[in-house]
Structure 1
Amino acid sequence: MSDSSQIALEEFPERTEAAFWFAHAETVPPHTHALGQFIHAASGVLSLITDDGTWIAPPNRVTWVPAGAEHRHRAHGVTDMRVVYLSPDAAARLPSGPAVLAVSSLAREALLALTTPGSRSEVARSHLRAVVVDEVASAPEQPLHLPEPRDPRLRQAARIVEEDLAEPRSLGELAVGIGVGERTLTRLFRHETGMGYRQWRLQLRVHRALVLLASGRTVTDVAAACGWATTSQFIDQFTPLAGMTPGAYRRAALTVRV
């Protein structure tokens, strides 16, 4: 994304929707917007990062960012980012914090139509925007948030796991490695992430898999890199969280829309 695109992104609340292309590993520094926004990666993968953690949305999901929420982005692979801003009245129907929400085929096509240059009237655009809001606002929140640990001990434990996901570590081994009791580490995971260690590690593995698949790695390679014993186990655990199989997600992420 060029410098001029960066300026446009920062001034975007004066508009209602737009599209931006990001190169691989390109980032947008921390910023806020006056209006809440839906963010969708039509191709590639886009991370939404805040002090509370990271969200990654597959093609059948949309990320919601409320007005005033400080956030930044990172692209994984060449990424086609679509943005739709909502009025305060429409935003009142969405969660109070960042979230990943399911997006139906109808809502996704309406969102893509809104963010593709064309000669649609404002009345038509308003109807499309209403479809997106109606469909997404009624959708359940998806478990694709990876909380950011704050306690130094939990941060240390998380980094150990993140650095080598292919090596499965039990909670007990992790506790010994950072010099705390297993009960203490269990309590820290529950208190700071709202999840047990195994669920948190699964979330981390799925997040990593989303990025690696979008980079073109094969399903088998990604399964091994993220610590799944077999490809079938990877498919079984990835699919309920992402809403699609690893193979389907890989194809969608690598499809460049024009």
Structure 2
Amino acid sequence: MPETRLLPHAPTRRQWIEPGGAITAHRHDDHQIVYAARGVLAVTTAAGTWVAPANRAVWVPAGTEHAHHAHGGLELHLVGLDATDNPLGLDEPAVLTVEPLLRELILAYTRAPDDGDPARVRLRAVLLDRLSASPQQPVHLPSPTAPVLVALCAILRADPGERRTLAALGRQVGASERTLSRLFRADLGMTFPQWRTQLRLYRALVLLAEGAPVTSVAHTCGWSSAGAFIDVFRRAYGHTPGTHRTR
């Protein structure tokens, strides 16, 4: 990642980021909740990318080097939390479910001035309480470190619709299917099909944010039909691609 800026305190604010815009690599001494009320947010660290549509937020622990990327116009809401405030006990980034009440709490908290008002203190306490009940979601695309996996994953990133088997891809990068299967589990913590599905879902979110039709997204990302894509998308995000666009 590029040179990292150190921000001692994680800001609490809302801001608009234009499509394709970014907040470059930085870290801070506080925890932070990063939520996109509109658009698709990608938070990238050395360990991979966490992707969050409008019903998800990203938890960024204190000290984590990260960058934000906007897909579609991004209405970003940032909540800084003291390093002692960790209601989920997480020391690694995670994607969290944002149910309607938590969403409204985040919007209200980032809208109000940080002036120490007792009402704001109470709002913060309720926000932390709801945050502690937010389940984690497996919307994480880990980055490989093994050179042969870096090469293979680059092929799939260039074309998520690539349908060759792991054995066929292995012949291109010079590794056996057995070796690659072992490396996917050891280096990325998931199987080859799981990683490829996460990559396809990530790319689908980006394309939908850019206004691509659902059928086009399905075929671009490697699903055999729009129906198959809709089914996988619904199971991953809790709503259909069409509903996602309206959100």
TM range (shorter): over 0.9
CA offset digits 1:141-179 (Å, max 9, x no partner): 100010000111001000111111223121111111111
Q: Displacement, 1:240?
A: 1.7
What is the CA deviation profile of residues 179-225 of structure 1, one whole-angstrom value per residue up to 9, with x for unaligned ones?
11110010111111111100110000001111111111111111111
Asked if 1:109 is matched to 2:104, the reply is: yes
Query: Which stretch has the larger CA shift, 161-170 or 49-58?
Result: 161-170
Q: In proportion to residue count, which structure has more strand? A: 2
Give me the whole-angstrom Cα distance separating, in 2, the residues matched to 1:209 and 1:10.
32
**1:28 offset after TM fit, Å?**
1.8
List 4+ stretches of structure 1 deviating above 3 A.
9-12, 117-121
Equivalent pair of 1:54/1:147 in contact (CA under 8 Å): yes
Q: CA deviation at 1:67?
A: 0.7
Q: CA RMSD in A?
A: 1.9
| More displaced 10-residue stretch of structure 1: 176-185 or 235-244 | 235-244
1:170-209 maps to which residues of 2 (within 5 A)? 170-209=165-204
- Secondary structure of the 1:63 match is strand
Match of 2:82 among 78, 84, 87: 87
Letter in 2 for 1:233: A
Work out the CA distance in 2 between the residues paired with 1:121 and 1:159: 48
Which residue type is aligned with residue 152 of structure 1?
P
What secondary structure sits across from 2:129 in the alignment?
helix
Q: Residue 52 in 1 paired to residue 52 in 2?
A: no
Q: How many residues align?
A: 243
Deviation of 1:88 after TM superposition, in Å, equals: 2.8
Stretches of structure 2 that go unaligned for 5 or more consecutive residues are: none
Q: TM-score, normalised by structure 2?
A: 0.92
Give the aligned partner of residue 226 of structure 2: 231
Q: Distance in 1 between matches of 2:227 and 2:173?
A: 32
Q: How far apart in 1 are the matches of 2:26 and 2:9?
A: 12
Alpha-carbon shift at residue 138 of structure 1 (Å): 1.9
- Identical columns (%): 43
Q: 2:9 aligns with which of 4, 10, 13?
A: 13
Which residue matches 1:242? 237
- Please, what TM-score do these two structures have when normalized by structure 1? 0.88
Q: Give unpaired runs (5+ residues) of structure 1.
A: 1-8, 253-258
Residue 241 of structure 1 deviates from its aligned partner by: 1.4
